[in-house]
Chains A and B, each alone.
Chain A
Amino acid sequence: MIKLLLALLLSLALFPALAVEPSEMLDDPVLEARARVISKQLRCVVCQNQSIDESNADLARDMRVLVRNRLLAGESNQQVLDYMVSRYGDFVLLNPPFKMSTYALWFGPGVIVALGIFAVAAFFRTKSDSGQAADGPPILVALNHEEQQRLDKIMENDQA
């Protein structure tokens, strides 16, 4: 049973690597490793939510081959990525770059969290100021001195 489970896990672990066919791979292991790093950052433009490293679409395969040919021609990783961006735009990068047009993307979630914290803080502040929420039901707070005396009196009468 454990063997079967392990085999299953192992086969799942193999899937992401399957798209790169042995015939595509470069002989130089250093260049091949760089090609894998670059391929993981490039979007398959046909399937859109896979990298070209994972996708077995024809175009993804051709892009992987192109990446490798450019590395063989002596280009740096950044030059290869720049070429792809010059053809397909920032869209081809799975990690959107940090620049003016993507500020909303990068800062948006933080701004929304900050607004949320501010709203929650404001909500609790109005609550503690008036002893009740602005327009909700009364909130239970500790009894003041007068109320405590009244309660004590009631309790005494009850026991008597």
Chain B
Amino acid sequence: MIVWRWIRAFLRFWVDFLIGDDWTVAAAIALALLGTWGLVQASVPAWWLLPLVVIAGTALSLRRTAAKERG
């Protein structure tokens, strides 16, 4: 029982750490990492993709949060 509680707490910790309260940003980052890998494999400059996705993903997430707050 205690072990099960520890496992659940451990999993909850990593979910909070990685995903937090908006899973879409984490998902966008994961996809951007995949896209970056693809561009590198195709010998295309890829440094721009991750910053672009992080900034755009943050803006969209903030838009949703602001809308949600207004109810």
Binding partners A and B: no
Which A residues fall within an 8 A CB radius of B? none
